[in-house]
Structure formats: structure tokens, C-alpha cells
């Protein structure tokens, strides 16, 4: 059993943490493959380059080498995942216990308390205003509580 409010807060925290981790990974890829320059508060990235000596044939037909610059980013395939929202569905039983809306995965849970089985769908975006989240949780919980207490 878990309080409904705690469940939603944990999910939002997980989305924000995953989003921050993805951004950190992207920053790491950019810093390894590009040189960051600032120009009037605008970031400009220039590719880091490596030089290769490539065998070729000279003008006289003899074996020769030429040097070629290749952007480092062209040699690697970095995974740059960006997570901005997550959508999921949970099937659970809801009940009110000690004045708090709680949820459980077990359908037997509601046999011992007045409650209901339900399916809840969420789409959570990364970031956002903490106060907006608290308002959303309060309104959602109030609606679910009214259904449970009918």
C-alpha cells in the first residue's frame, strides 16, 4: 500500500531525474566531440577533429600519404536520448484509510475497506512548476476520493 500523493511525487521525481541524467549524458557527448565557444550569450559548438594519414597514389604514380581531418563526432555514434515526458498506466485498488487516499495493486485490498478497482493513466512531463504539481495532485486525489467514498 502506498499513499496516492507519494506515488505521484515519486513518479515525477523519477521523470525529472531521468531527464537530468539524459541531459548530463548529452552534455558529456557534446563536450567530448565538440569545442564550446560563447558568442553574445549564444553557444557555438565546433567539431573536434582528428587527423588521419591515408595511403594514396602521388602524381608520379608512386605510393604516398595524404593527411585528412575528420570530425570526431563522425567516428562515433553517441546515444543522445532526450526524455521530456513519460506515459504510463497503472491498474490498482484505491481506498481511503485514516483520511488519506491510498492505492494498492492487490484487488483483495478493497475487500477490507470501502474502495474501488480502477485504471489510471498518466502523462508526466519533465521539469514543471512544483506548485502546479501539488495542485494537480490535490485535485486528482479529491476526484478519486469522491469516487471511492460513493
Nearest residue to 94 via CA among 113, 116, 111: 116
Q: What is the pTM of this model?
A: 0.50
Annotated domain spans of the chain: 2-23+81-148
CA–centroid distance for 61 within its chain: 56
pLDDT tens per residue across all 150 residues of the chain = 788 888 888 877 777 777 676 666 666 667 777 888 877 778 788 888 889 998 888 888 888 888 999 888 777 766 555 667 778 788 888 888 888 888 887 766 555 566 778 888 877 777 777 777 788 888 888 888 888 877
Distance CA 76, CA 65 (A): 24
Phi, psi angle pair for 143, to nearest 5° = -65, -45
Amino acid at each position: 500500500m502506498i499513499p496516492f500523493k507519494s506515488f505521484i511525487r515519486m513518479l515525477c521525481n523519477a521523470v525529472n531525474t531521468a531527464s537530468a541524467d539524459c541531459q548530463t549524458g548529452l552534455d558529456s557527448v557534446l563536450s567530448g566531440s565538440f569545442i564550446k565557444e560563447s558568442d553574445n550569450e549564444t553557444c557555438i559548438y565546433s567539431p573536434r577533429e582528428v587527423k588521419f594519414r591515408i595511403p594514396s597514389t602521388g602524381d608520379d604514380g608512386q605510393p604516398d600519404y595524404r593527411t585528412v581531418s575528420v570530425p570526431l563526432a563522425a567516428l562515433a555514434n553517441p546515444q543522445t536520448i532526450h526524455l521530456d515526458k513519460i506515459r504510463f498506466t497503472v491498474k490498482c485498488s484505491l481506498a481511503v484509510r485514516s483520511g488519506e487516499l491510498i492505492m494498492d495493486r492487490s484487488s483483495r485490498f478493497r475487500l477490507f475497506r470501502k474502495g474501488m478497482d480502477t485504471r489510471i493513466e498518466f502523462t508526466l512531463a519533465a521539469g514543471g512548476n512544483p506548485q502546479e504539481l501539488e495542485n494537480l495532485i490535490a485535485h486528482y486525489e479529491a476526484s478519486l476520493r469522491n469516487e471511492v467514498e460513493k
